[in-house]
Structure 1
Amino acid sequence: MARSPTRVQSDERTRLSQDGRGPHLRAQRPNALRLWLRRQKPRLRPVLMGSVFAVLAGGCAVAIAALEPTGRFGWLADGIAGTAGRYGVVVGDIVVRGQQNTPRELIRNAIGTGRGEPLLAFSPTQTRARLESIAWIERAEVQRSLSGDILIVLHERQPFAIWQHNNEFAIIDRYGRVVTAETLDAFGPLPLLVGEGAQKAGGALHDALKSEPEVLKRVQALVYVSQRRWNLRLHNGTDVLLPDGHEDAAIRRLGELQRSGALMDRALVAIDMRMPDRLVVRQQPQPEEEVPVTKRRGSGRG
């Protein structure tokens, strides 16, 4: 059976197209994305080069700061940071979380940078050290991203008590760290610790007092005597002398005496609990009664 000329011609065209060598191949037309990239190429090139430079500069600056943060190569790190800043690598938003009692001015001074400043000139390590040198701040977390944002999370010390020492007053935290000596009445009612060493040893005694609420609410101050033992100064002026090293047992006994006989509500000078087998109570001195003096009339001759 003879093959149709039209059929042969069609088969040859198909075979030549598959081989890729046929004269009938049409050039592929570029799609829309390629056309857009081709038109935007002059604009994208500086941005891409700036981004690559910023990444390289950031790596160099970090390496230099890690090897010798304050040494002879500091000028090189500063130069890299300044150049990166000209390419748009600058500080954007600065977010601070956890601030309650720390003055904002101290935080701003510790951060030491602002919006629009060179980002690579900002050191998270040095900033964290400056923040943690503030009395209120126990720990700080500082994060920097190449997008320009800076995130700072503060963990503040909590006011625990007022410490009186040498006629001076200060707010301290649980571990005796002085956090401020101003605005003492801004943190609500706090325990009053008196004496040298009271700021560090007062936490354990206050915990023991919390187990006896009736005792705690009558205590005005916790007085550390000779850095060895405690006295409780009550609101009515009575001093409770606690034994050295056995404060918990004495406070429980004091609570029992209060519930059974309202001992702490009496007008007493002192309640001495230093001896484990006895309780010594010193009462207020009673005023002496005045004895009326009668004048004897003398007998005389007139």
Structure 2
Amino acid sequence: MLSVSAKKSGGKRKSERPAAVLADEAGLVLPRPFRRVARFVIALCAGKVAVPDHLGKLSFLAYCVAVGGYGIVQGGHWPVVEQAMTSTAGFAIEDVKLSGNVHTSEIDVLQSLGLDGTTSLVAINADEARRRVSELPWIQSVEVRKIYPRTIEVNVKEREAYGIWQHGSELSLIEKNGSVIAPLRDNKFASLPLFVGRDAEVAAQDVDADFDGWPEIKARIKAYVRVASRRWDVHLDNGVVVKLPEEDVGAALARLARMEGEEKLLERDILAVDLRLPDRMAVQLTPEADQRRQAAVAARTKAVKQAEQRI
């Protein structure tokens, strides 16, 4: 009995031995994390593991999805696919709440956002939308908020028109710092001061501030004309031109205001008042006033001569 038992125990087949023993006899020891995998692979190849009926179809479908997804991402089509998927899921933008706009139309804002009725709120990039809206002429700053599931909120702050700049035959609206806002298209800004000439938009703020101390004269100004990028000619509502000096404009205006208060200079028949020299003021008469003055001078000269002859 003893000999028979020993024979049975020593006669175990090699294929029934553990995988770790077989790997040890072959001189190869797998790391512990891979031993279970190795046993599963061996069992799968030996047909000891039951494979689900539709595993092949599911594997093929997963492969197609992976390949298709990779192609979409690499080809740059993911934004379109994302928008289509999320719009179908109920995230298409249906309401745009716009506030703060006075001179900017809603249509311009919607076009800048790129909304076409099927745009997805999920797919839209708020930073990119903010950048596109800020490129509109009147926009100074803009805030874009996404309110799920179907609303986008746009709050804009517009630039403030300070004056009208005429350069050549074109008219443009400008800010106080001289930045051009947009071309002048209508007459609703006709009350703004007009600045004419090269570099006039840059120096507009300074010359306008020079007249702040003389509101009576400033109210009569129709246009500021820049001369040689150095000084200004000011055109009044009655056609009189006031020629300002390059420097010390305040002192020149003080002299003009004094003459206006004492002599009503600007109401007389004159064409221009020249204030460019600090020690004198030159006045150019209208042709009619000049003729009357010459006639008066001639009559006075004649009267003087007649008086001399009598003596």
* Both proteins in one fold, TM over 0.5: yes
Q: Which whole-Å CA distance do the structure 1 matches of 2:186 and 2:117 have between them?
A: 35
Percent identity between the two aligned chains: 28
Q: Which runs of 5+ in 1 are unaligned?
A: 1-70, 292-302
Partner of 1:225: 227
1:97 corresponds, among 86, 96, 99, to 99
SS of equivalent residue, structure 1 residue 186? coil
Give 1:97 deviation, angstroms. Answer: 0.5
The 3-state SS of whatever aligns with 1:270 is strand
Return the offset for 1:194. Answer: 0.8
Structure 1 residue 76 corresponds to structure 2 residue 99: no
Change (3 A) 1:74 1:174: farther
Deviates more, 1:270-279 or 1:215-224: 270-279
> Aligned partner of 1:163: which letter?
W
- RMSD between aligned residues: 2.6
**C-alpha distance 180-77 of structure 1, shift in aligned 2 (>3 A):** closer
**1:144-182, Cα deviation, whole Å (9 max, x unpaired):** 233332111111122222222212223223233333334
Alignment CA distance shift 1:80-1:254 (3 Å) = same
The residue type paired with residue 78 of structure 2 is L
What is the rounded CA distance, in whole Å, between the counterparts of 1:102 and 1:249 in structure 2? 42
Distance 1:149 1:236, change over 3 A: same
Residue in structure 1 matched with residue 147 of structure 2 by the alignment = 145
Cα distance change of structure 1 residues 234 and 125 upon mapping to structure 2, 3 Å threshold: same
1:191 deviates by 0.8
The answer for the alignment partner of 2:237 in structure 1 is 235
Equivalent residue in structure 1 for 2:174, among 160, 172, 175: 172
Q: CA separation in 2, counterparts of 1:199 and 1:253?
A: 27
Mapped to 2, the partners of 1:188 and 1:264 lie a distance apart of 24
SS in 2 for 1:184: coil
Give the TM-score normalised by structure 2. Answer: 0.63
Letter in 1 for 2:166: Q
**CA distance, structure 2, for counterparts of residue 188 and residue 169 of structure 1:** 11
Secondary structure of the residue aligned to 1:107 is helix
**Per-residue deviation, 1:74:** 4.0
Q: How far is 1:112 from its partner?
A: 1.2
Q: What is the correspondence of 1:4-19 to structure 2 with a 5 Å cutoff? A: none
User: Counterparts of 2:97 and 2:141 in 1: how far apart (Å)?
Assistant: 16
Question: Could you tell me whether the CA contact under 8 Å between 2:86 and 2:123 is conserved in 1?
Answer: no
**Inter-CA distance 72–179: structure 2 relative to 1 (3 Å threshold):** farther
SS at match of 1:187: coil
1:180-259 maps to which residues of 2 (within 5 A)?
180-259=182-261
- Structure 1 runs of 4+ aligned residues shifted over 6 Å read none
User: Do 2:90 and 2:149's aligned partners in 1 also have CA atoms closer than 8 Å?
Assistant: no
How far did 1:192 drift? 1.1
* More helix by percentage: 2
Q: TM-score, length-normalised on structure 1? A: 0.65
Of the two, which has the highest radius of gyration? Answer: 2
Residue by residue, what CA displacement relative to the aligned partner does 1:270-292 show, whole Å, maximum 9, x if unpaired? 21212222222233342265x9x
Equivalent of residue 129 in structure 2, options 127, 130, 145: 127
Change (3 A) 1:230 1:72: farther
